[in-house]
Amino acid sequence: MKLFPAVDILDGRAVRLLNGRRDAVTDYGSPIDRAVEWAQKGARRLHLVDLNGAFGDGNNVDVIARIVRETGLPVQVGGGIKNADAAAYYLQDAGAERVIVGSAIVLDPDAADAMCARYGAKIIAGIDVKDGAVAVKGWVQKTQMTALQAAFAMKERGCDTIVYTDIGRDGALSGVNVSATAKLGEDSGMNVIASGGVSDVDDLEKLREAGVFGAILGRSIYVGNIDLRSAIARFEEGQCSQRG
């Protein structure tokens, strides 16, 4: 199972939000320092979220580009990627390996078409669910679309990977939604990366046993519930040559 240490960036700072709320933020200092820390602990890839991009009040492309340069790790980036030009900022200007497209799946299917046509496998579907429905615009607007509908919409465009976030568990250390994550992978036939609620190695073990492709590690590694170096040794042994 692949592990994705996370660095969420807001106003140039590394932060963690509770349930995606901007008014419930914990500051963890320099995002460069956090990314380098995870790299030094053996991370093989990083998950970066540009929260300013998600909230629609700027971006952190320069910070992300520096993280790519200083860690040398492949990164996947999400947050406000609504069209092909925005995807280009991260893929070409910042050097990201893949970008995560979320709101456009629902709000602008033509833009999602264009991004997938232009960048193919570099596009990951970001499916964020709140109370059973896909949520968009930085998780503040619920839609009528289900996670599986969103997954099939992106699969038809050639996408093979999903980052699935249970918003109600994100940043809460409340335990990952193993059943919903695994079911989405089984029903869609896509690789699913679990996001939101991973609290300890028991959660990781449950995800691995359920056949989940990967897991994003956020607050759990920031507060020390999961030792990243040990988790990598336990869950990624034999995956040294894999990227993405």
Q: How far, CA to CA in Å, does 148 sit from each of 162, 169, 187?
A: 11, 19, 7
Helix (H) or strand (E) holding 167: none
Extract the tokens encoding 193: 């990366």
- Residue 206 has a CB neighbour count (10 Å cut-off) of 18
Q: What is the CA 211 to chain-centroid distance, rounded?
A: 18
Q: How far, CA to CA in Å, does 152 sit from each of 149, 156, 184, 190?
A: 5, 6, 10, 9
- Written as one letter, the residue type at 45 is R
- Residue 187 has a CB neighbour count (10 Å cut-off) of 13
Known catalytic membership, residue 8: yes
Known catalytic membership, residue 160: no
Q: Which of 8, 50, 166, 170 is catalytic?
A: 8
Residue 155 per-residue DSSP state: H
Q: Which of 27, 93, 128, 170 is catalytic?
A: 128
Cα–Cα dist 97/82, whole Å: 17
Which active-site residues does the annotation give?
A: 8, 128
